[in-house]
Structure 1
Amino acid sequence: MSEKRLKRQHLKKRFLNKNRLVLLNENTFEEILSFKLNLLNVVGGTLTLFFMLIVSTVILMVFTPMKEFIPGYSSTELKENAIELSFKVDSLEQVISKNERYLASLQKVLTGDVAVSKSAIDSLNKVQDLEEQLEQIKPSEKDLKLRELVRLEDKYNVFKEASPKVNSVLFAPLKGSIVKKYDVANKHYALDIASPINTPIKAITKGMVLFSDWTPKDGYSIILLHEEGLISVYKHASSLTKSQGDQVKSGEVIALTGGGIEDSSHFHFELWKDSNPLDPTLFIDFQ
């Protein structure tokens, strides 16, 4: 027991034994500064300094921009920018998808690969069945007179009673004789107009150029988008004066005739609205 007590006393004396730290001038040995220290003061001071260093480092990292230099740490601004970019990329993907579908539809228009909608076929079938039923009924003499009267009224008042699908005034792209008419039964959704080579082709109304380029089948072709979703297609051109994205005015020259691959002797014109073909002669006078 005495030895353990002596060791404790020796250790306590060692920690509490005061020492003097003196700073002397090397040349004159003059005392500049002196401190009275013991081992306990040195250990306590070192631990206090180390603790203050840790606390200051944590405060510096938490409340200053230096925390962004820590590997794996993402700032709030960086996260907000990443979320915003993610939304923009998603929106761009949707726009690209819509443009791809739209271009695919335009390609079908150029190649003539257009399917007649089932609703239109059903409507035609219903009309045909109704006509067959009416033919089986023998009308009376009064009925025949009434039908003739109604036929004459409809002949001269059709545009007063019916509302056209196209509300704009449309101008002829060029004047000439029609060599091939619009024919849904033979899937010819256009007019072929005879015209001399290098005849100016004009826009039927104001709009924007959707497509303007050369195609292997139809030579130089141009497609215009007009108001109310109306689309006009011009094919068999020898040259184009407008590029994709250009704005055109009514009657402005957009191309010259005479460049079709299969047949360059005529000009090919199509009119579309809401993905459905229209007979151009119902809205435009080509004579």
Structure 2
Amino acid sequence: MTARKEKKKAIAKKLLHKYRLVILNEDTFEERISFKLTRLNVFILVGISAIVLITLTTLLIALTPLREYIPGYSSATLKKNARELLVKTDSLENALRVRNQYYSNIQRVLSGTITAEDFLQDSIQDDSIINPSQLDLTASKEDSLLRVMVEKEDKYNLFKTATAEADFALFPPVKGTISSGYNSEIRHYAIDIVAEKDTPVKAAGDGTVIFAEWTAATGHVIIIEHANNMLTVYKHNASLNKDQGELVQAGEVIATVGNTGELTTGPHLHFELWSNGYPINPANFIDFN
């Protein structure tokens, strides 16, 4: 125990032993500055300096753009770019999904194939299946009040009618005799109109030509995209007057009646009407008489 105490006293004596730090002029050996120090003071001064240096360095890195140069530290610019890329990726995925669905619809239009399950998804077909006698059509109190309100508004609105709300109309593409009507049971999703060869075929409505090519089964085919996600299809044409991407107006000549393709028995126009990727009966929207 005595040896340990003596050792501690020796260490304390070394730490507290005073030294004189003198700065001299090298030429004249004149004393400029002198300090009285102990080893303990030196250790404390070095420790405090190290803590201050580490603190200042940490603050400098944390509060300035220098932190972006630290490996593994996420950059604000990188985060912003990552968010923008994520939004763009999501938008591209949605656009690709819509485009794939669009191409799928075009393929179904060209092939004329559709399943019974698809018909169940078609709101127009569902409406025709519903039996009105099975529905409760009794007007509720809210319905009656709404009808009275609408009647009062329409009473003083002389220029606004139900037909004024319609922003899309279709016209017969060609005049002739209907040889075959729309029949979903035999997968004939069109109306065949017999006409003389080279009779002008006119656009049923304003739109954009999205397909104008030759197919082995249906000859020269032209497809026009209209408003409200509607397509009109014209098959078995002798020739086409419009190219893909062109804008057409209702009544504008887009083709001539022909007898092209394997699935034809004489000069006629095979006319189809599609809504949201599903075929509908053109006779319900166009007066062919």
TM-score by length of 1: 0.64
**Structure 1 runs of 4+ with >6 Å offset:** 118-121
Aligned position for 1:34: 34
2:281 corresponds to 1:278: yes
Q: CA deviation at 1:115?
A: 4.2
CA deviation digits over 1:58-97, x for unaligned, max 9? 3233333333333333356755664565455445434433
Aligned position for 1:218: 218
Q: Distance in 1 between matches of 2:259 and 2:73?
A: 64
Pair 1:214–1:20, CA change in 2 (3 A): farther
Tell me whether 74-83 or 28-37 shows the greater mean CA deviation: 74-83
Aligned position for 1:190: 191
Aligned position for 1:45: 45
- Residue identity in the other structure for 2:63: F
- Residue identity in the other structure for 1:15: L
TM-score by length of 2: 0.63
Q: Is the 8 A contact 1:220 1:259 kept in 2?
A: no
Q: CA deviation at 1:40?
A: 1.4
- How many residues are treated as equivalent by the alignment? 243
Aligned position for 1:241: 242
Pair 1:243–1:28, CA change in 2 (3 A): farther
Q: Is the 8 A contact 1:242 1:255 kept in 2?
A: no
Q: Distance in 2 between matches of 1:31 and 1:212?
A: 102
Q: CA deviation at 1:209?
A: 3.5
Q: CA deviation at 1:44?
A: 0.9
SS at match of 1:283: coil
Q: Distance in 1 between matches of 2:114 and 2:218?
A: 16
1:96-107 correspondence runs (5 A): 96-107=96-107
Pair 1:242–1:21, CA change in 2 (3 A): same
Q: CA deviation at 1:192?
A: 4.5
1:268 to 247, 267, 270: 270
1:33-182 correspondence runs (5 A): 33-74=33-74, 79=79, 82=82, 85-86=85-86, 89-90=89-90, 92-115=92-115, 117=119, 169-175=169-175, 177-178=176-177, 180-182=179-181
Q: Is the 8 A contact 1:179 1:194 kept in 2?
A: no
Q: CA deviation at 1:99?
A: 3.6
1:16-31 correspondence runs (5 A): 16-31=16-31
Pair 1:6–1:272, CA change in 2 (3 A): closer
Q: Distance in 2 between matches of 1:255 and 1:249?
A: 13
Q: Please, which runs of 5 or more residues in structure 1 have no aligned partner?
A: 127-162
Pick the structure with greater CA Rg.
1
Tell me whether 53-62 or 25-34 shows the greater mean CA deviation: 25-34
- Residue identity in the other structure for 1:251: G
Q: Is the 8 A contact 2:241 2:253 kept in 1?
A: no
Tell me whether 178-187 or 97-106 shows the greater mean CA deviation: 178-187
Q: Please, which runs of 5 or more residues in structure 2 have no aligned partner?
A: 132-162
Pair 1:19–1:257, CA change in 2 (3 A): farther
SS at match of 1:224: strand
Q: Is the 8 A contact 1:195 1:267 kept in 2?
A: no
Q: CA RMSD in A?
A: 4.0
Q: Distance in 2 between matches of 1:268 and 1:208?
A: 19
SS at match of 1:272: strand
Q: CA deviation at 1:24?
A: 3.3
Pair 1:234–1:205, CA change in 2 (3 A): same
Q: Is the 8 A contact 1:206 1:248 kept in 2?
A: yes
Q: Is the 8 A contact 2:193 2:269 kept in 1?
A: yes
Pair 1:85–1:54, CA change in 2 (3 A): same
CA deviation digits over 1:161-213, x for unaligned, max 9? xx9xx9955334345x448432526543232444445x654311112334444
Q: Is the 8 A contact 2:259 2:268 kept in 1?
A: no
Q: Is the 8 A contact 1:22 1:35 kept in 2?
A: yes
Q: Distance in 1 between matches of 2:202 and 2:173?
A: 5
